[in-house]
Amino acid sequence: MAPHTNSSAKPKYLKVVYQYIVNHFLTLLLVPVTAAVTVQVLRLGPEEIVIFWNSLIHTDPLTVLCSLFFVVFVATVYFMSKPRSIYLVDYACYKAPVSFRAPFSAFMEHSRLNLKDNPKSVEFQMRILERSGLGEETCLPPAIHYIPPKPTMDAARGEAEMVIFSAIDSLMKKTGLKPKDIDILIVNCSLFSPTPSLSAMVVNKYKLRSNIKSYNLSGMGCSAGLISIDLARDLLQVHPNSNALVVSTEIITPNYYQGSERAMLLPNCLFRMGGAAILLSNKTRDSGRAKYRLIHVVR
Per-residue pLDDT of 224-262, as tens digits, reads 899 999 999 999 999 999 999 999 999 999 988 888 898
- Note the pLDDT of residue 12: 66
Q: Which helix (H) or strand (E) holds 96?
A: none
CA distance 43 to 49: 10
| pLDDT digit string, tens, across residues 125-183 | 999 988 888 889 999 999 999 988 999 999 999 999 999 999 999 999 999 999 999 99
Q: Is the confidence at residue 2, as pLDDT, over 60?
A: no
Integer Cα distance of 228 and 248 in angstroms: 8
Query: What is the per-residue pLDDT for 212?
Result: 96
Angle ∠(219,224,276) on CA atoms, nearest 5: 120
Cβ-contact 94, 276 below 8 angstroms: yes
**Phi/psi at 191 (nearest 5 deg)?**
-100, -25
The four Cα atoms 108, 109, 113, 114 give a dihedral, to 10 degrees, of: -40
State mean pLDDT over 37-63: 74
Contact 280, 88 (CB under 8 A): yes
The predicted pLDDT at position 3 comes to: 46
Q: How confident is the model at residue 80 (pLDDT cuts 50, 70, 90)?
A: low
* Residue among 187, 197, 236 nearest 87 (CA): 236
pLDDT of residue 51: 73
What is the Cα–Cα distance from 269 to 271, expressed in whole angstroms? 6
pLDDT level of residue 7 (50, 70, 90 thresholds): low
- Residues of CATH 3.40.47.10 domain(s) within the chain? 86-294
Q: What is the CATH number of domain 86-294?
A: 3.40.47.10
Q: Grade residue 4 by pLDDT with cuts at 50, 70 and 90.
A: very low
Q: What is the pLDDT of residues 265-275, one digit of tens each?
A: 998 899 999 99
Confidence bin at 1 (pLDDT 50/70/90): very low
- Amino acid at the residue 222: C
Amino acid at the residue 254: P
18 pLDDT higher than 90: no
